[in-house]
Amino acid sequence: MQTYLDFEKPVAQLAERVAELRETAAEGAVNIDAEIGRLEAKADRLLRDTYRQLNAWQKTQVARHPNRPHFKHYVDALATDFVPLAGDRNFGEDRAILGGLATLNGRRVMLIGHEKGDDTASRLRHNFGMAKPEGYRKAVRLMELASRFGLPLVTIVDTAGAFPGIQAEERGQAEAVARSIETCLSLRVPFVAVVTGEGGSGGALAIAAANRVLMLEHAVYSVITPEGCASILWRTADRAPDAADAMRMTATDLEGLGVIDRIVPEPLGGAHRDHAATVRAVGEAIGAELDALCTKSGRELRDERRAKFLRMGG
Amino acid sequence: MSWLDRVRNSIPFIAKRETAENLWHKCGKCGSMVFVKEWEDNLNVCPRCDHHDRIGPRRRFAQLFDSGRYQLMAEPIVAEDPLRFRDTKRYTDRLKAARAATRERDAFQNARGCIGGREAVVGVQSFAFMGGSMGAAVGAAFVVGAREALQHRCPYVVVTAAGGARMQEGILSLMQMARTAVAVSQLKDAGLPFLVILSDPTTGGVTASYAMLGDVHLAEPGALIGFAGQRVIEQTIREKLPEGFQRAEYLLEHGMVDAVVHRKDLAGTLAQLIAYLSPREREAA
């Protein structure tokens, strides 16, 4: 069942009309194939036009879409082999960040990513993709493992942010995020990050300070959620659309600012409408980036990554 | 303050009138009225309740460097308002207002001098300047301070104070977390100590980058230090926060800082640490 976003209402209405007509046609009364075809073409056109000019706030809705492909979809479709690794060896296992050894198109890598879950039970198990300190400490552990054994690192970034809670603070959420960023910048292996949904602040950057940062066409990446920004600067969360626009958080904006390196196009109507095509496109982009990075030495990779982030903001 | 006082105070060569406002300081915590002179001699700490008031870069430099002598470093120039950001006000107007109010260029300044007879570079974040928030200017200044320490092969000491990232610079403010982390790594690779003094308040993206990457973390008593804001946490978990949550003493209890140090002991403690951690002169091989 397709979940329609607010701004997709006209498309939803057309789809509903098509479904009704199909039912009528199935009853065999009249031949209305031509009419159905016409309506479907119209719906496609409408969807294309809508998605061509999404504003930042609409993209935020798309990036958070419950049916958007998540970490496990990427693993299932891209990894011919996957050995999940768990735990921070210190406190616990945080399922908001998953990781493991993976074979992508014949290449052995370390794959780490946020997992939001896609039904109530799994969302709770993955804490909606909001990691606690142990999640970031696990990420650090796996990144260091990758660096030590010469495995390229690939991360899938999709989180509203690091979890804000009492226990998370007690266990040093800030320190865990900081250490994770520091680790990203010290690795001596190729490192590609893909922002596939929400790139939520420090919780995203903690696994995204990569040699090459890719972003899906309708993904967003920002220092704070539009709601958070609006409630601080406009003193009401209702101004989130304005905040989203002002913060320049879309893939095109970020490419222009030199913060990301490549935009991966999404299928018509967004990644949630075609998982297979989305995942394939992401897989191909990762492969191409790794091909280029794998020719460099560990030291070069680390130094280039550091130099890139040292320049950010002029 | 009336408009007349505001104008008078903004003109440096007109002597300030000795009003009650100038003579007395009211403690923000216990409400005691203290002679400004007495309060300043006490390093802007309330002599009645020990409340550590927020202080800016100049005062901090004067308190930390030997005999209050130091050399202020030039602040790097960065592209201003890269996003042409506007909320209820233009970002450029907010910058102008902050500059007029603080007479600082942005929220981070560096100085070089001696602490306990040994050379050190000290960076101080200014909470008075847009909540100490970290944008490209703060990130760039941090990098400049670290580079100066690298050049002189001396420790880099940073006093943090910030509400977090500067939202008006959007994603570029987030990137300053990575940028400053690189500068810290370079100090560590060079074998130089990076010492952090957490002052009130230090939260958000600043805590989640250089503030928590120090070789040693000192915190001023009562300082609010954390990742997420208290309101955000309360809204997320829907329960009251425990007493003293995210205060310096709480962080000490939870292993996030090495010591909570009274302001009067800060310079001395730093001198001790620097004596242990300063890079030793290499013996001729």
Q: How many helices (H) and strands (E) does chain B have?
A: 10, 9
Question: In this structure, is residue A1 part of a structural domain?
Answer: no
| pLDDT higher than threshold 80 for residue A65 | yes
Quick check: is B2 in a domain?
A: no
CB B76 within 8 A of CB B247: no
- Residue predicted with more confidence, B237 or A30: B237
Residue A20 has pLDDT above 80, yes or no: yes
Kindly determine whether residue B82 and residue A314, on different chains, have CB atoms separated by under 8 Å: yes
Q: Does A295 reside within a domain?
A: yes
Instruction: Give the domain extent around A243.
Output: 60-311
Same domain membership, residue B126 and residue B267: yes
**Residue A127 clears pLDDT 50, i.e. is over it:** yes
The pLDDT of residue B10 is 61
Same domain, A216 and A168: yes
Collapsing DSSP to helix, strand or coil, A187 comes out as coil
- Separation in Å, CA of A288 to nearest CA in chain B: 25
Tell whether B254 lies on the interface with A, counting CB pairs under 8 A: yes
Determine the average pLDDT of the residues in B231-242. 87
What domain range includes position B37? Answer: 23-53
Whether residue A132 sits in one domain with residue A113: yes
What pLDDT, on the 0 to 100 scale, is given for residue B283?
Answer: 43
Is B13 a domain residue?
no
The rounded Cα B82 to chain-centroid distance in angstroms is: 24
Angstroms from B36 CA to nearest CA on chain A:
33
What is the rounded CA–CA span in Å between residue B90 and residue B74?
A: 26
What residues are paired with B120 via a beta bridge?
Answer: B113
**CATH at A244:** 3.90.226.10
Q: In chain B, positions 64-83, which contact chain A (CB-CB < 8 Å)?
A: 78-79, 82-83
Q: Do A33 and A68 share a domain, yes or no?
A: no
Whether B180 contacts chain A with CB within 8 A? no
Cβ separation of B172 and A312 shorter than 8 Å? yes
Q: Which two tokens stand for residue B279?
A: 């890079």
Query: Which of A162, A247, A313 faces B175 most closely, judged by CB atoms?
Result: A313
pLDDT digits (tens, 9 = 90+) for B127-159: 999 999 999 999 999 999 999 999 999 999 999
Q: Is the pLDDT of residue A141 over 90?
A: yes
Residue A223 lies in a domain: yes
Assigned token pair, B91? 């970002």
Is pLDDT of B282 > 60?
no
- Shared domain check, A251 and A129: yes
Task: State percent of chain B over pLDDT 70.
Answer: 91
Decide: A182 and A305 in contact? Cβ < 8 Å. no
Which has more confidence, B282 or B221? B221
Query: Does A229 lie in the same domain as A88?
Result: yes
pLDDT-derived band at A273 (thresholds 50, 70, 90) equals very high
Give the pLDDT band of residue A61 (cuts 50, 70, 90).
very high
pLDDT band at residue B285 using 50, 70 and 90 as cut-offs: very low
What pLDDT was estimated at residue A47?
93
Q: Please check whether residue A247 is in contact with residue A226, taking contact to mean a CB–CB distance below 8 angstroms.
A: yes
End-to-end CA distance of chain A: 47
What is residue B203's predicted lDDT score, i.e. its pLDDT?
Answer: 97
Q: Quote the pLDDT of residue B280.
A: 73
Q: Is the pLDDT at B2 greater than 70, yes or no?
A: no
B203 torsion bin: left (phi>0), alpha (psi -120 to 50), beta (else): beta
Residue A68 within a domain: yes
Q: Does residue A181 sit in helix, strand or coil? A: helix
Tell whether B126 and B254 lie within a shared domain: yes
Q: Scanning the structure block, which residue is given the tokens 């922002």?
A: A195
A47 and A193 within one domain:
no
Tokens representing residue B227 in the block: 């990742």
In this structure, are A35 and A158 located in the same domain?
no
Q: Are residues B47 and B178 in the same domain?
A: no
- Does the residue B3 lie in any domain? no
Closest CA to A131 of A88, A77, A100: A88
Number of domains in chain A: 2
- Show the tokens assigned to B6: 């505001």
Q: What angle do CA B272, B278, B280 make, to 5 degrees?
A: 125
For residue B78, being part of any structural domain is answered with yes
Which CATH number goes with the domain that contains B148? 3.90.226.10
Establish if A242 touches chain B: CB-CB under 8 angstroms.
yes
3-state secondary structure of A122: helix
Q: What does the pLDDT look like over B109-125, one tens digit per residue?
A: 999 999 999 999 999 99
The answer to whether residue B284 scores a pLDDT higher than 60 is no
Whether B70 and B174 share a structural domain: yes
Same domain as A279, residue A197: yes
B103 in a structural domain: yes
Query: Does some domain include residue B223?
Result: yes
